[in-house]
Structure 1
């Protein structure tokens, strides 16, 4: 792939991430994305990516690629008997560190939150992350720490927590843009690690009855 084509793809990805974050997935056409990117060819999204879903997958893969090396570093540094908090940190810290490194304004957290909220495209998030070996390793090591929680309850909690993490990050990203934030991204990360760890192992006071459905993007 030539440098010109790479620049064109990067411009389209950046344009899509911003417009999806600001307006929502279904409100943004491929033509709007190409116009915002400054492309003269209104079929540029189709030419470079094949369609909207493929464009969203490319955005998600870009994010994962940027986080994967950091997560691998954290996982490699874990003790053999690492606790749940440290394992959850491997899941959360690469995300907030990536968000902290983006220029202001950034759109990534709000884009992820938009994808998570649209049932037609939310499964793309899981499919983009399914090939991550480090995430698979974190999930495997988390399970013994939550073995007392019924599987359906754990799945539902994981879905709720995925929504919480993305929602809080999206809200904080908007505050950073407005200049009204308190603390910093790393503080947000540690707050989320504490909250996720606590909820995963919270007591199950009633076994049976209705359990909220799991989100399409589970945290573990």
Structure 2
């Protein structure tokens, strides 16, 4: 999307509104990113802490902690665009985005709340003992791409046939299958 389209959609007439309010296009994207990731990752942190307290922090709990806050955010913001926004970001990074080099890492959003997501994805990766070590990052990253892609496809539907909570249950099962496959 071009800046002029965003400005028009926001009801502004001045194409420099983005620069005036955010300083740059990148800062606008980071503001959108933070507006969603902060509450999503706060919810993730609570789910993780609860599962750890119950001594039930297994792969299913980890995937639920990844998925459920995304679905809750989508339900809060109807219509939702967050999964599509995330899908566009994922299109700009390496397939194996958990293994970032220093140059690529500089382009990625790094807020304190994102550390919760990163730690969760590392926990998922570290639980994949059935895979060779050099495949674990990629498998966890593929799971993330799969979930975001499916949620983005759901968002694009004008009248979704599948209720969001039903999709959440199906994504949980299939994401677990993807992670547990040999």
Q: Which runs of 5+ in 2 are unaligned?
A: 95-103
Q: Which runs of 5+ in 1 are unaligned?
A: 1-27, 204-220
Contact 1:45 1:51 in 2 (8 A): yes
Q: Provide closer, same or farther for how the CA distance between residues 119 and 148 of structure 1 changes in structure 2, counting only shifts above 3 A.
A: closer
Give the alignment of 1:130-145 within 5 angstroms: 131-139=113-121, 141-145=123-127
TM-score, normalised on structure 2? Answer: 0.79
Q: Provide closer, same or farther for how the CA distance between residues 131 and 151 of structure 1 changes in structure 2, counting only shifts above 3 A.
A: farther
Tell me the residue number matched to 2:155.
173
Q: Larger radius of gyration, structure 1 or 2?
A: 1
Q: Provide closer, same or farther for how the CA distance between residues 117 and 136 of structure 1 changes in structure 2, counting only shifts above 3 A.
A: closer
How many correspondences in the alignment?
171
Are positions 1:75 and 2:55 aligned together?
no
TM-score, normalised on structure 1? Answer: 0.67
Q: Deviations over 1:77-133 (max 9, x none)?
A: 112242210111011100011101222x3322222222222359x968853466534
Give the alignment of 1:103-182 within 5 angstroms: 103=78, 105-119=79-93, 126-128=108-110, 131-139=113-121, 141-175=123-157, 178-182=158-162
Give the alignment of 1:11-50 within 5 angstroms: 28-50=1-23
SS in structure 1 of the partner of residue 85 of structure 2: helix
SS in structure 2 of the partner of residue 146 of structure 1: coil
Root-mean-square deviation (Å): 2.6
Tell me the residue number matched to 1:187.
166
